[in-house]
Structure 1
Amino acid sequence: MGRPKSKRTFYKSYNALSRKQKWLRRQNTLRQNDFQSDEDSTSTKTIQNIHMSAIGSNPSESPSTSVNTQAHNETDFCNVLPAAELSSDSDQASEESFNSDHVYSCQEEGLVEKRAEHIPFHSNTDPDITKIIRSWALNEVNVPKTSVSRLLKGLHAIHTKLPMSFNTLLPRPDLQYKSMIHGKYVHFRNWMSSLKDLLYNTFNHISGTVQYSLVINIDGLPLFQHSPDFKMYPILCTIYKVKSRPICIGIFSTEKSTCREMPDPEVLLKDFLNDIQRLHSHPISCDNLKFQMAGKGIFVCDAPARSSLKKIKSHCAYNSCERCTVTGVYDDYSHHVCLLGHGSFRTNEDFVSHTHENHHTGISVLADFGVDMIQCFVLDYMHLCCLGVTKRLLSWWKGVKRQYTAKLSSSSISIINERIEIYKDYIPVEFNRKMRNLSELPYWKASELRLFLLYTGAVLLKCKNTISIKRYRHLKSLFIAMRILLSSSSNETSLHLCSKLLYDFVSKCTTIYGKGFVTYNVHSLVHLVDDYKNYGSLDLVNCFVFESYLGLLKKYVKSGYKPLQQVSYYAFHSNENILSMTHSKFAGLNKGAAAGIIEGGITLPGFSNAVHFRKFRLYSDCIIYANSVANSTIQFNGTIAKVFDIILHGTNVLFIIKKYRNVTTLFKKPVPSSAVGVFNVDCLSDSYQVINASGKICKCIILPYKKGFVAMEIIHSIE
């Protein structure tokens, strides 16, 4: 051992360190005094620029200029364009071109959205900066709380009503956590007030009694990839036909890996069913409106969650079909239970009386509550068609899981991967993800599979040396049927055709891929038409919006210490700020660096004083860009055209377009492709035409095919 240090050496080093600390303190004090004189003159200007940037304004504007603000999902706070910022070649054109009482909007079919009666170009109302920052802090879960607190302290010099810290902006709620069998449950008492705010915000333009239905989702959420200790089961809901962020009703979390299954529905749903009963007995009232709940709810879940809630056999069992009494057979080659053929249809009366005992595992509390156990449980097309059937098809073509009979050659897979890379430049902004090549197929998300099923697959696989004609015709039946089921204007004739195509697709799976291919998901395709007859387009009742919300919940878990408390903190404040986090966007010309006025543009006779714009919001989740490769193609009155410029002339928003001269069908059998909004186009016209943007216009995705393009109407909504 070395010689111990003497006390003299210890005190000497201590005194030296103490002097250094004192010197550092004196230097910090001097710096603060030096900057104190400049702080008063610069802080106001700096913070003002931060504020104007946060709400999407131009820092060069005068502070008195204010705009109406709608919060954007990615901190892009789009503002309605003020008249003061519009410029043209003459003052007379400026006076005539902007009218604050004019509306530029296009109606969207299928969804009920909050729309203003008029969209002004100028407003003297200050935006609520507290709501903007609160919504931003909830959305940007990766921003540290300390950064939000520093921003609030800086902005407090201008807005004295702003909170000073993150904990004041989003205070920690007082929640009660109840212990259950193998975990804990928290029930949010504020979800009904959030429902009231959302209903009133949507229907405040009418009076009387409004009937509404709730779309309910329960799904498992694994929190950590390499740890099975925690799994959550949030109970979420939205309003049927109202586009909004889900409301969180309650969350159950397991605590140990010994049991990660959903608890008994009678225990899990006790508080929720009491609230539903209260909504029926005491309807929500606000001003001159009365909101009456219709039915007991529409349950949109995946197959394992449905089997737990309904107390029926799982999707791997012999009697697993929820709509008919078909009995499955075991396939030794694929090691799956295959549901071949069709049985008699199940009814709610048969379900309640347990007519088919082999289908049940117990008595469901929802059946006793009065829920229709057949019609009120929707077969979610996200899990059934995208993650189920489409991914199964691609997996068999790729030759995974020993299914080599349907495997494509390596050259065919290479051609498909090349086409996928080419199509990436043609995917519009309305799509969350672009497809990856087939080598990453196990990691494809549901949105990528939806893109392949509804849009790119029918064009990509029509190219030579990809798949056989027999397989392509087989896939085409599913492609046509799903586009019919996601359309909002399908009639009885088209639904009859859709049902015939789905039956044909399922029956031919046995001859093309073998009976091992016809599992629960493939068989259940034939029952999707029933859901369309009950609830309309399948785009109104699916899990895409709920899965997006679950992703946000998962991001809010920072560590393994009390994950339920971390998630419930976010879910509670998400309910409290449901209106600001719903991000309803109005159709029209929006302000911003990427959407403002552009110089130049196309000048036509009679429109010399028009103002040119880069983009126009056709409706809430659809944006048209001028002269863009992927975002300029539109369809109106059976015509396909490309938008080259967007102008504001007087009080009208106009599109300067060129039509495609050669418009044909991509295929003619079993029905022409034009019947499902798919066209083969080529050769733009030489002359420009002007159309009004307020007409019935829909955006298209355009994909290269041979010497021309294939244009398809975008039929899904954006989450």
Structure 2
Amino acid sequence: MSKVLKDPRYVSRRQQRRQINEEYRKLCNTNVISSVSRHIPATVCTSTDTKSDAAEFNSSNITTDLQLNSIDSDNIALSKPIHGHNVPLDARTLLQAPRKLEIIDMSPGHYYHFGLVQGSVRSVAKYYSTENCPKELQININVDGLPLTKSSGSQFWPILASVEADFYTEPFIVGLYHGSNEFMKYFTEECSKIIDVRLSIGNRTVPIKINAFVSDTPAKCFITGTKGHNAYFGCGKWVQEGEFIDNRVTYPETTARLRTNESFRLKTNEEHHKKTSILENLCINMILDFPIDYMHLVCLGVMKKLLQFWIKGSKDVRMTNFQRKRASDLLLLLNKSISKEFARKARPLEEVDRFKATELRQLLLYTGPIVFRDNLPRDKYNHFLCLSVAIRILASPEYHIKLNDYARELLQYFVESFPSFYGHQHISYNVHNFIYLCDDVKLKGPLDKFSAFKFENYMQKIRKSLRTSSKPLQQLIKRNQEECIIDVQYEKFEYPIIKYAIPEEINEGKNTSNLFNIVIFL
């Protein structure tokens, strides 16, 4: 039997790991010294010989899985020095994972507060220096649910935040709740104190301000204590009663009295409120600081609905089979010309029910006007074009203020003519709120300044950080704190911008034969 075990052909993977483990413990003295500090000596991180020693160490039969194998012990010590360096026996020693977590019991779930100021400090250190320091640090807040598994109702409710800037800034976690309950208490308490907080950037101090709460409609109604989009008084911008048409609530009016911060706090329209929100304790505007998110309203809402009308709608609305196939083939043909800056390549229109928000945005702003030009009736195409041009204006950093009134007229026409094309029963909450989108852009900036795209992307990072379905809250807390141990440094982000040059800028008045061949990369 011993001869069989010595033959590698008859040794199982578990037995191989045991043999390797025994060889490893012979190399490293197995005497556990509990008094040795669990922190890795600086020589491991700073020595130039570490890489070569590690390469020599990995070239042996000892696998990397074994090096990072978890050893569940209260006294995880460092091994005997190998090649003059102390190597940790456990990956948690290297990552400095916390042992005790201050998780707050909020029945029927649990909550952990990471801190708004702590995340803001890391973002400032990463994206700002003394040269580009802002006068005021504006923060966008996002709250949304994140289902964890398909086999149960387990889900996260993360409170995410990001620094609002002219460039991309990665969101960070402020608080995390696992369950379903009122979990904004600790976030509200910290936000009430940040008025007196100033962050130091070099030799300057910068105040912090909450710029906007960016969420989809169900999440916004949940944290503000108001009724949903399918209620008679569910509109959060206008005071009007919806009409029940064809088993759905519609909002046909395009002019109504606007809600204000004072009327919201006084609850003058009682039918709109379900409870008093804890966010009312903050010095924020309960109407203006909750802008409309165009990712859910425009892309996943109206644009997806239009595609479903054209592909699977009634006979008087949908395209013919020939038009649908021609449009789908043209859309796939454009994949050759789509650059890598776009998140996804186009898919056939028959898969419209599985389209993501980035695909719908690409159709709305870029490929849609080309694909549907000869495949939709002229009146429906012009109606769609009004939406495309208006959203393009509102998303433009250059024209969102200059052409704001023109975009409002286009959206006003789009909403008023929507019933004639698709029926009065489809004037839903999403279509109705188009008119107020221009006011949010005037106040908060271009659409991408307060969209949920980057927050939804960060949700995938949260999901991928979970290894098992058990104790998801504890897992995510440890992964986040392991990441926070790494010191962040300022990185200057420079992206090439293509710009057609003016001849005088190049030749100082000399004649230029071909202007459009002159390109400057800024």
TM-score range relative to shorter protein? 0.7 to 0.9
**What is the identity, as a one-letter code, of the residue corresponding to 1:487?**
S
For residue 233 of structure 2, the aligned residue among 319, 323, 330 is 319
The TM-score, its normalising length taken from structure 1, stands at 0.58
Superposed CA offset, 1:130-174 (max 9, x none): 9xxxxxxxxxxxxx9839949xxxxx9999699776323323223
Residues 400 and 441 of structure 2 are in contact (CA less than 8 Å); yes or no, is this contact kept in structure 1?
no
Instruction: Provide the C-alpha distance between the structure 1 equivalents of 2:132 and 2:378, rounded to a whole number of angstroms.
Output: 57
| Paired residues for 1:351-366 under 5 Å | 351-366=264-279
- Correspondence for 2:365: 454
| Paired residues for 1:71-82 under 5 Å | none
- Correspondence for 1:431: 342
Shift of 1:578: 8.1
- Correspondence for 2:148: 223
For residue 65 of structure 2, the aligned residue among 139, 146, 150 is 146
**What is the identity, as a one-letter code, of the residue corresponding to 2:65?**
T
| Paired residues for 1:186-585 under 5 Å | 186-189=112-115, 192-206=117-131, 210-225=135-150, 227-241=151-165, 243-254=168-179, 262-264=180-182, 268-285=183-200, 287-294=202-209, 296-332=210-246, 335-341=247-253, 342-399=255-312, 403-462=314-373, 464=374, 466-490=375-399, 492-577=401-486, 579=488
Residues 251 and 428 of structure 2 are in contact (CA less than 8 Å); yes or no, is this contact kept in structure 1?
yes
Residues 331 and 348 of structure 2 are in contact (CA less than 8 Å); yes or no, is this contact kept in structure 1?
yes
Superposed CA offset, 1:109-145 (max 9, x none): xxxxxxxxxxxxxxxx999x99xxxxxxxxxxxxx98
Residues 125 and 488 of structure 2 are in contact (CA less than 8 Å); yes or no, is this contact kept in structure 1?
no
Superposed CA offset, 1:377-406 (max 9, x none): 011110010000100100111125xx4542
Shift of 1:693: 2.1
User: Per the alignment, in what secondary structure is the counterpart of residue 373 of structure 1?
Assistant: coil
Whose relative contact order is higher, 1 or 2, with alpha carbons under 8 Å and at least 6 apart? 1
Shift of 1:565: 2.1
Q: Structure 1 178/352 Cα, relative in aligned 2: closer, same or farther at 3 Å?
A: same
Superposed CA offset, 1:318-343 (max 9, x none): 111111112211111xx221110131
User: Per the alignment, in what secondary structure is the counterpart of residue 293 of structure 1?
Assistant: strand
The TM-score, its normalising length taken from structure 2, stands at 0.79
**What is the identity, as a one-letter code, of the residue corresponding to 2:113?**
H
**What is the identity, as a one-letter code, of the residue corresponding to 2:92?**
N
Residues 339 and 518 of structure 1 are in contact (CA less than 8 Å); yes or no, is this contact kept in structure 2?
yes
Instruction: Provide the C-alpha distance between the structure 2 equivalents of 1:207 and 1:417, rounded to a whole number of angstroms.
Output: 46
Q: Structure 1 373/659 Cα, relative in aligned 2: closer, same or farther at 3 Å?
A: same
Residues 248 and 572 of structure 1 are in contact (CA less than 8 Å); yes or no, is this contact kept in structure 2?
no
Q: Structure 1 367/145 Cα, relative in aligned 2: closer, same or farther at 3 Å?
A: farther
Residues 302 and 383 of structure 1 are in contact (CA less than 8 Å); yes or no, is this contact kept in structure 2?
yes
Residues 145 and 166 of structure 1 are in contact (CA less than 8 Å); yes or no, is this contact kept in structure 2?
no
- Correspondence for 2:109: 183
Shift of 1:424: 0.9
- Correspondence for 1:693: 521
Residues 553 and 570 of structure 1 are in contact (CA less than 8 Å); yes or no, is this contact kept in structure 2?
no
Higher strand share: 1
Residues 130 and 201 of structure 2 are in contact (CA less than 8 Å); yes or no, is this contact kept in structure 1?
no
Instruction: Provide the C-alpha distance between the structure 1 equivalents of 2:421 and 2:199, rounded to a whole number of angstroms.
Output: 54
Shift of 1:307: 0.5
Higher helix share: 2
Q: Structure 1 18/423 Cα, relative in aligned 2: closer, same or farther at 3 Å?
A: same
Q: Structure 1 436/636 Cα, relative in aligned 2: closer, same or farther at 3 Å?
A: same
Residues 185 and 278 of structure 2 are in contact (CA less than 8 Å); yes or no, is this contact kept in structure 1?
no
Comparing 169-178 with 356-365, greater Cα deviation is found at 169-178
- Correspondence for 1:18: 2
Instruction: Provide the C-alpha distance between the structure 2 equivalents of 1:159 and 1:285, rounded to a whole number of angstroms.
Output: 41
Instruction: Provide the C-alpha distance between the structure 1 equivalents of 2:82 and 2:205, rounded to a whole number of angstroms.
Output: 43
Q: What is the percent sequence identity of the aligned residues?
A: 28
| Paired residues for 1:74-223 under 5 Å | 146=65, 149=68, 166-173=91-98, 174-189=100-115, 192-206=117-131, 210-223=135-148
Shift of 1:208: 8.8
Instruction: Provide the C-alpha distance between the structure 1 equivalents of 2:7 and 2:324, rounded to a whole number of angstroms.
Output: 69
User: Per the alignment, in what secondary structure is the counterpart of residue 317 of structure 1?
Assistant: coil
Shift of 1:492: 4.6
Superposed CA offset, 1:658-681 (max 9, x none): 876xxxxxxxxxxxxxxxxxxxxx
Shift of 1:18: 3.2
Instruction: Provide the C-alpha distance between the structure 2 equivalents of 1:221 and 1:348, rounded to a whole number of angstroms.
Output: 30
Q: Structure 1 692/426 Cα, relative in aligned 2: closer, same or farther at 3 Å?
A: closer
**What is the identity, as a one-letter code, of the residue corresponding to 1:336?**
R
Unaligned runs of 5+ in 2: 21-45, 52-62, 70-80, 504-512
Superposed CA offset, 1:237-278 (max 9, x none): 001115221111111112xxxxxxx422xxx11211222233
User: Per the alignment, in what secondary structure is the counterpart of residue 506 of structure 1?
Assistant: helix
Q: Structure 1 471/162 Cα, relative in aligned 2: closer, same or farther at 3 Å?
A: farther
User: Per the alignment, in what secondary structure is the counterpart of residue 193 of structure 2?
Assistant: helix
Residues 188 and 248 of structure 1 are in contact (CA less than 8 Å); yes or no, is this contact kept in structure 2?
yes
Q: Structure 1 315/252 Cα, relative in aligned 2: closer, same or farther at 3 Å?
A: same
Superposed CA offset, 1:213-260 (max 9, x none): 1100010111123x2331111110001115221111111112xxxxxx
CA RMSD of aligned residues (A): 3.4
Q: Structure 1 291/175 Cα, relative in aligned 2: closer, same or farther at 3 Å?
A: farther
Instruction: Provide the C-alpha distance between the structure 2 equivalents of 1:467 and 1:374, rounded to a whole number of angstroms.
Output: 38
State how many pairs are aligned.
456
User: Per the alignment, in what secondary structure is the counterpart of residue 618 of structure 1?
Assistant: coil
Instruction: Provide the C-alpha distance between the structure 1 equivalents of 2:502 and 2:410, rounded to a whole number of angstroms.
Output: 25
Unaligned runs of 5+ in 1: 1-16, 33-124, 131-143, 151-155, 255-261, 588-616, 620-633, 640-656, 661-688, 695-719
User: Per the alignment, in what secondary structure is the counterpart of residue 471 of structure 1?
Assistant: helix
Instruction: Provide the C-alpha distance between the structure 2 equivalents of 1:445 and 1:207, rounded to a whole number of angstroms.
Output: 35
Shift of 1:373: 0.5
Residues 218 and 234 of structure 1 are in contact (CA less than 8 Å); yes or no, is this contact kept in structure 2?
yes
Instruction: Provide the C-alpha distance between the structure 2 equivalents of 1:159 and 1:507, rounded to a whole number of angstroms.
Output: 77
